[in-house]
Amino acid sequence: MNKLSETKAFGGRQIRFEHESNTLNCTMQFSVFLPPQADTTKVPALYWLSGLTCTDENFSSKAGAQRVAAELGIALIIPDTSPRGDDVPDDSDGAYDFGLGAGFYVNATQQPWAKHYHMYDYIVQELPQLVEQALPLNRVRSISGHSMGGHGALVMALRNEGMYRCVSAFAPICHPTQCPWGHKAFSGYLGDDRSAWQAYDATELLLKHRTAPPMLVSQGEADNFLAEQLRPDDLAQAIAQTGVQATIERHDGYDHSYYFIASFIEQHLRFHAKYLK
């Protein structure tokens, strides 16, 4: 891990690192907030997965999470949204919803994506091993995210029982096998076998496994992606069928932006704190 920058915030440290990723076969950058408690003891960590077009810097600069994380003694681990570098392929048309900035937190099996686009293994395996060896973290984890990152957070929590104490999401892509964003990403990264798509679909995973860690989902009712892309009602029906411990909150007037995240990030952090302590 090579430190690129460090800034003091709320008594803690906002740091940006880079490292050579064996999983993604490229140089990756990620951001970390260490609360002041990390100066004297190991602390739990919330992994935050960002959405389409984002990097590791969007959440750290826009969400306003550091103040409450500092109070609660929670580290924030904020990875990028896709592999990066001159050798990493991108969408031929430069579309925002596929390729660079749009890794969809899957392990790609199709060429030319399979060499680099293994964001699922990077988040679940490589990144935790890296930061937990190098930073004062106690290996108690939870996970959260926004939009494409909310999809990734839910999928990782549902597929890795016991790894995360709880999970939350802002405006997640709840049923990607049934929406245009998911169709484009999954057909490109995973191919035409739709049975492989279901391994990265939170609604389908919940119906299959019928268990989940404590879950909080926040959705804005003025979100322009709500009906076509996000499909929270599908997840709500799966929650009702399985009876898992989960809450979906609908907020009138809020859209898909970081203003929405900033408005409710404190609630989410306090939700995570209950299970991380």
Which residue's structure tokens are 């290996």? 139
Domain 2-276 top-level CATH class: alpha beta
Helices 202-209, 232-242: crossing angle, 10 deg rounding: 10
The phi, psi pair for 203, rounded to 5°, reads: -65, -45
Q: Is residue 248 predicted with pLDDT exceeding 90?
A: yes
pLDDT tens for 164-214 read 999 999 999 999 999 999 999 999 999 999 999 999 999 999 999 999 999
H or E element that contains 207: helix 202-209
**Is pLDDT above 90 for 242?**
yes
Beta-strand relationship, 12-21 and 2-9: antiparallel
Could you state, in order of their start, the residue ranges of all structural domains in the chain?
2-276
Cβ pair 256, 224 in contact under 8 A? yes
Closest CA to 199 of 166, 154, 164: 154
pLDDT for 274 equals 98
- pTM reported for the whole predicted model: 0.97
Residues assigned a catalytic role: 147, 223, 256
CA distances from 257 to 86, 215, 225 (A): 29, 21, 11
What percentage of residues in the chain have a pLDDT greater than 70? 100
pLDDT of residue 92: 86
| DSSP tag of 39 | G
Q: Which residue has the tokens 């049923």?
A: 175
